[in-house]
Structure 1
Amino acid sequence: MRIQCIGRSPPHARVIVPREAPVTWTATYAPALGAPVIQQRQWPTMNRPVQMSVLWFRHGLRLHDNPALLDAISGPPSMFFPIFIFDGESAGTKVIGFNRMRFLLESLADLDRQLRSRGGRLWLLRGDPSKIFQRLWEELALTKVCFEQDCEPIWNERDQSVRATCAERGVRCEEFVSHTLWDPKAVIYANGGLPPLTYQMFLHTVSTLGEPPRPVEDPDWTGVTFGTLPPRLVKEFQVFDEVPKPEYFGLSQPGYGLVRWIGGETRALQHLRERLTQEEQAFRKGIILPNQSRPDLLGPPTSQSAALRYGCLSVRRFYWNLHDLFNAVSQGDPPAGLNISGQLIWREYFYTMSVYNPHYAEMSANPICLDVPWDKNPTFLEKWKKGQTGFPFIDAAMRQLVSEGWIHHVARNSVACFLTRGDLWISWEDGLAFFLEHLIDADWSVCAGNWMWVSSSAFEQLLDCSKCLCPVNYGRRLDPWGEYIKRYVPELRNLPVEYLYEPWKAPLDVQRDAGCIIGDHYPERIVDHQRASNQNRQYMENIRNSLLEQPAHCCPSNQDEVRQFMWLPDECVGHITAKIA
């Protein structure tokens, strides 16, 4: 979908336009862009030369399936400027750590290489976007700015400021929906103006909107003229000569983590081809969501989440590649359903739930979040962050997170539950902040939604089973031989496997033989899980009983959705079924 706003004509355009021309609205359909076009015009139709067209990259760091790019290079001849602005906020740069910044910079470098191969470059500027666009209008007759929609409310102030700046100067400001499968605002409108609180309600609502648009065609670079900034603006905007390294921003690499995730569209498309090969093999065996139904903590990365988060991979291409592949294998019987898309649909759901809620990542001011009196325990929080809790599976996940910037979905659920309602009774807000710093694929909406969901802060009772995410048994089921622990908690690698998940139970002579004395080489456990879990369940029950009215909350609808969202042991599924009945 394209949303286009046009204000007064700039003085550089060689046309005479009434400064107070009446506003008219038109709606047409643009098949090439795959969406309806909504236009606000403030001047009569006439030949108006376009002199400078800017593609403002924010999250959609790719050339394929990029309707904003297609529009930026279409129309009358113009100078084309692809830019990225380091404003201290965009793409999460305000809060990110080394690995997230590394992935972002690799993605920008990949874009720059692709554009240079076509005779241009990616201009990396520094400053306030509104002021930069004002100066481009003053100096270079900027006439059009195109960008992909950032639907999360944390970007509203930035984008509204840019729209206002453009409108005041007659600069076309065009926004395209391509970071999500459906426009979250359209989903809410279709649901009567209210967010669809349950996942089933969300599925029903999007079904009324029809299938997501298919990807748009690749750009035709024939005739595209890349612009060049004059030296005075290069200096004013502090343009980078080349893509910087994370160290430039004061970030240092945490240890010697394995680089398993490489940023950029080129790698993302290669990774997609590898993923589709695995999906086809699974489909032919009657398996869907193979990476979720059979979690592999140590195998080669198969997740597309990091590439989707920065838009190196189009979510629409991933979605339609999966669905077309499934239909080809099954020959349409059964037809592909949303269930084969798994986490892509949950991603859409969380985006939709957050779009009109600027306090979505907070607790007290968040209308859909239970206000839980969490403990303040800086010591426990720090041990959790450093992977020093004394629970090897939890510590392995936290150390992998910090060193590599990624952990499997099942490990995320484990460490989130452990920090919050499971063991430490520390606020999910603290966990979210740490994930947003270190997790390469951390999306503000999706990450906050996951934390509320797993911590039961969104008033979710289906996850109240104390056995669901035991920091000992859950990890043991996922990895019976403890290879995950041996890689990321190497001080325990020589312990016999029967003690690997509960090293405090190992006799002292066994600890000596393994070269790891608990309390010396590896910490004692900071809590007794069974005692803490029982106490926390009672806390949560007391909170619920004290409420006269339950807050509206986002939640799954049944046990099948819980099983899809989280890899659960069989006895926990039985507990959930009984709870629903």
Structure 2
Amino acid sequence: MNHEKALVWFRRDLRDHDHAALSAALSNARHIYCTFVFDTDILDALPSRRDRRVHFIHASLIELDAALRSRGGGLIVRHGRAVEEIPALAAQLGVAAVFANCDYEPEAKARDAAVAASLRQQGIAFHTSKDQAIFDGDEVLTQAGKPFSVFTPYKNAWLKRLTPADHAEWRCTGQYAASEKIGVPALEHIGFGTTDLDTIGVRPGMSGARALWDDFRNGRLTRYGALRDFPAIKGVSYLSVHLRFGTVSIRELVRTTLAEGADTWLNELIWRDFYFMILDRFPHVVGQAFKPEYGAIRWKEWPTGLSAWQEGRTGYPLVDAAMRQLKHSGWMHNRLRMIVASFLTKDLGIDWRLGERHFAEQLNDFDLSANNGGWQWAASTGCDAQPYFRIFNPVTQSENFDPEGKFIRRYVPELAAVPDKFIHAPWRMGRLEQEAIGVIIGRDYPAPIVDHAQAREETLARYVIVKKPI
């Protein structure tokens, strides 16, 4: 044992098993304490005091605290600035070291550097472990020793490097210590209230993650490639919020996926590592295009267009259904994320950063790296992005991925009576047909906010500034 006492700082890793920092602390200290900080530097920037993500974290912490108590420990929960609370708690407990898992977001890295410096002044060590990614840092590089900027060669290098040790489980056994002040305060004590997580069917914590994972791997994991693009059917894992807050282990998911040969879903997990790497190595992507030349694009200033998109009243049924799903549940199917992002940037001509910000406010599973990567992919401004001249047709996408209009009718009920042949483009109905079913376009449902064919031409002209000679 290197230390008598150590402190484990939980952040986006709210579980007591297969946890790299927890395992490291238990292996290097005789007694460990565990803490979580409701960081006011983060909370004070939230637009609402009833935030589903804070509620999810709080409920997950209650479950984590109970699990740690069963081992003789428990959570010490603080509410304040983490850069101040962690050094103060470490000093109060008299620990020799603080252990935490790596975070790749620029503000989180700056926070950790400040905490490490403060601890160092007290003679306390700060150790970080890789936990939320399979590979990070310099582990996957090009043959020239540079970070990748294209996914497929990154994926090939990732797979070539992978060994069983990279996804082996971290054991978390050892001696836990209980502080006099352990336990999770009520949400109201940190200035927040409960939300509709139960109503929308989100079950927090390790138990919620386990239930979803068991359901997915026992029924849909190997069929994911065939099912994943159709939002009206149960085809995806719904684990994104659990991956975001670490109530499930990425290593367990990779182990099982490899054993099942579920390559399509494994690709999604590798994309996650890829976007972590991009954010870590190219932090300018926060607020700027990955490709500098795309910073010269002149986007439309169109507040009413942005509002129509946000509220699901663009006149394009699948786009509107997706945006209403987001507003209702805080979640959106991945195929729909691509469609609505393409629509905002390439049909409405609105800056991708405004869409990225809206998703950041609305998504339960908001993760800066994936959200930024996805938006820059759709806007063609990012690494390995969709070429700017490939523009999703919202009607064709609707016909392909919601052929019977089931998803549309679920979230746009005013179109329930529209016949299947018009459900994807209801403005194509004649006036008599509209009157017959009681759905008047422009009265009961909006007319299209733009003409797609015309918008496509405007987008090609907008992007000509970055067109390279062939």
TM-score, with length taken from structure 2: 0.89
After TM superposition, the structure 1 = structure 2 runs for residues 130-279 of structure 1, keeping only pairs within 5 Å, are 130-188=83-141, 192-207=144-159, 209-211=161-163, 213-220=166-173, 223-229=175-181, 241-242=185-186, 244=187, 248-249=191-192, 259-279=200-220
* 1:393 equivalent in alignment to 2:334: no
How many angstroms apart in 2 are the aligned matches of 1:511 and 1:445?
44
How far has the Cα of 1:204 moved from its partner?
A: 4.5
8 A contact 1:492–1:514 mirrored in 2:
no
* 1:409 equivalent in alignment to 2:334: yes
Residue 384 of structure 1 aligns with which residue? 309
8 A contact 1:368–1:458 mirrored in 2:
no
Residue 40 of structure 2 aligns with which residue? 88
8 A contact 1:151–1:184 mirrored in 2:
no
Question: What are the superposed Cα offsets for residues 291-341 of structure 1, whole Å, 9 maximum, x if unpaired?
Answer: 43x534342752322211111111111011111233xxxxxxxxx8x6551
Deviates more, 1:152-161 or 1:506-515: 506-515
Residue 307 of structure 1 aligns with which residue? 242
Residue 520 of structure 1 aligns with which residue? 443
How many angstroms apart in 2 are the aligned matches of 1:245 and 1:480?
45
Question: What are the superposed Cα offsets for residues 355-414 of structure 1, whole Å, 9 maximum, x if unpaired?
Answer: 122221222687485532111111100111111111111000000011111111110000
Deviates more, 1:408-417 or 1:168-177: 168-177
How many angstroms apart in 2 are the aligned matches of 1:112 and 1:145?
18
8 A contact 2:290–2:383 mirrored in 1:
no
How far has the Cα of 1:482 moved from its partner?
A: 0.7
Q: 1:405 to 1:156 in 2, by over 3 A?
A: same
* 1:432 equivalent in alignment to 2:356: yes
Q: Give the number of the structure whose residues are more often helix, by fraction.
A: 2
How many angstroms apart in 1 are the aligned matches of 2:326 and 2:358?
10
How far has the Cα of 1:463 moved from its partner?
A: 3.8
Matched residue type, 2:360: L
Q: 1:92 to 1:273 in 2, by over 3 A?
A: farther
How far has the Cα of 1:342 moved from its partner?
A: 1.7
RMSD (Å), alpha carbons: 3.1
How many angstroms apart in 1 are the aligned matches of 2:224 and 2:443?
45
Q: Secondary structure at the match of 1:77?
A: strand
Would you say how many aligned residue pairs link Structure 1 and Structure 2?
468
8 A contact 1:260–1:301 mirrored in 2:
no
8 A contact 2:279–2:369 mirrored in 1:
yes
Question: What are the superposed Cα offsets for residues 541-571 of structure 1, whole Å, 9 maximum, x if unpaired?
Answer: x2124x79xxxxxxxxxxxxxxxxxxxxxxx
* 1:348 equivalent in alignment to 2:273: yes
Specify the structure having the higher radius of gyration (Cα).
1
Residue 300 of structure 2 aligns with which residue? 375
Q: 1:258 to 1:380 in 2, by over 3 A?
A: farther
Matched residue type, 1:81: Y
How many angstroms apart in 1 are the aligned matches of 2:72 and 2:273?
36
Q: Secondary structure at the match of 1:523?
A: coil
Q: 1:453 to 1:92 in 2, by over 3 A?
A: farther
Q: 1:91 to 1:172 in 2, by over 3 A?
A: farther
Question: What are the superposed Cα offsets for residues 103-157 of structure 1, whole Å, 9 maximum, x if unpaired?
Answer: 3333223222323444443232111223223322443313221111102223111
Question: What are the superposed Cα offsets for residues 390-444 of structure 1, whole Å, 9 maximum, x if unpaired?
Answer: 11110000000111111111100000000002x0010110111111111122211
Residue 543 of structure 1 aligns with which residue? 465
How far has the Cα of 1:69 moved from its partner?
A: 1.0
Matched residue type, 1:154: E
8 A contact 1:133–1:165 mirrored in 2:
no
How many angstroms apart in 2 are the aligned matches of 1:171 and 1:125?
19
8 A contact 1:389–1:395 mirrored in 2:
yes
8 A contact 2:55–2:193 mirrored in 1:
no
Matched residue type, 1:201: P
Residue 44 of structure 1 aligns with which residue? none
Matched residue type, 2:276: Y
Q: Secondary structure at the match of 1:316?
A: helix
How far has the Cα of 1:279 moved from its partner?
A: 4.4
Q: Which runs of 5+ in 2 are unaligned?
A: none
* 1:491 equivalent in alignment to 2:414: yes
8 A contact 1:375–1:425 mirrored in 2:
yes
How far has the Cα of 1:70 moved from its partner?
A: 1.8
Matched residue type, 1:354: L
After TM superposition, the structure 1 = structure 2 runs for residues 279-294 of structure 1, keeping only pairs within 5 Å, are 279=220, 282=222, 289-292=225-228
* 1:500 equivalent in alignment to 2:423: yes
How many angstroms apart in 2 are the aligned matches of 1:248 and 1:54?
26
How many angstroms apart in 1 are the aligned matches of 2:219 and 2:353?
36
Q: Secondary structure at the match of 2:284?
A: coil
Q: Secondary structure at the match of 2:234?
A: coil
8 A contact 2:291–2:382 mirrored in 1:
no
Deviates more, 1:482-491 or 1:81-90: 81-90
